[in-house]
Amino acid sequence: KAGVTQTPRYLIKTRGQQVTLSCSPISGHRSVSWYQQTPGQGLQFLFEYFSETQRNKGNFPGRFSGRQFSNSRSEMNVSTLELGDSALYLCASSPLSGAGHNEQFFGPGTRLTVL
Amino acid sequence: AQKVTQAQTEISVVEKEDVTLDCVYETRDTTYYLFWYKQPPSGELVFLIRRNSFDEQNEISGRYSWNFQKSTSSFNFTITASQVVDSAVYFCALSEAPPRGGSQGNLIFGKGTKLSVKP
C-alpha cells in the first residue's frame, strides 16, 4: 500500500502571499489530520477532516484553513503568510473507527519557508 | 490540561549501549492513548506503538520495549543494544479524547528526544 503523500515537498514564499498544501491519505483511510512542526513550538495539531467535514481544530488563527474532498484527499491553505509560518507541515491519515485514537500514519511533510 | 513532557532533549550513546527515553504525561481523562513515534532525518514520523490507559502490560518488540506506569504517569521507551540506524528524534504523544464522534482526537506531542548513536 502506498503511504501518505504530500505535495509539494518544499516551498518558498514571501510574506503576505498565500499557499496551498496537498495531502493524499493511504488508500482506504478517510480521516486526515494536519500538524505544524517548528523548532520552537514542536508538533502542534492544526485540524482534522473526515467525510469532507472538519471534526476537530487546534488553536491556530483563521489564516489557516483546510478542506477535504470526496476521495479523502485534503488541502490546507495559509493566507497572508507570516515569517513565523515557516515550518514543516505534516499530514497524517488514519482508518477511522468508532473507538477513535487509532494510530495516525504520517507523510513526509511539506517544508515551507517564508521570506 | 493535557501535557507530555520529555525531559531529555538530547542523548548520545555508543552503539550496543542500552538507552531509555523518558516520557511523563498529564491528563484528566480516564480513557486515553499513548504513542511513540520516531522521526528520522528524512522528516517522516514513523509510528512505533500505541497503548491505551487500561493496558499497563509492558511490551517488547525486538530491541524495543515500553514500560507504562499509570501510578507515575510515565510511558518510557527502551532501546536495547542500540544501533546507528536508531539515530532519530523520538516523540511521545498523548491522544486527547475526541470532542465528538467521527474524530480521531488530536495527538499532543512532547518536545522530542534526539538520540544519536555513534559507531
SS3 string, chain B, reads CCEEECCCCEEEEECCCCEEECCEEECCCCCCEEEEEEECCCCCCEEEEEEECCCCCCEEECCEEEEEEHHHCEEEEEECCCCHHHCEEEEEEEECCCCCCCCCCCEEECCCEEEEEEC
Choose, out of A10, A43, A49, the residue to mutate when testing the contact with B (most B CBs < 10 Å). Answer: A43
CB contact under 8 A, B106 and A88: no
For the stretch B68-114, pLDDT in tens is 999 999 999 999 999 999 999 999 999 876 656 666 668 899 999 99
Residue A100, pLDDT > 60, answer no
Q: What is the pLDDT, as a whole number, of residue A94? A: 87
Residue A34, pLDDT > 60, answer yes
Q: What is the pLDDT, as a whole number, of residue B1? A: 77
The answer to whether residue A1 neighbours chain B at the CB level (below 8 Å) is no
Residue B21, pLDDT > 80, answer yes
Share of chain B above pLDDT 90, in %: 69
CB contact under 8 A, B98 and A100: yes
Measure A112 CA to nearest chain B CA, in Å: 13
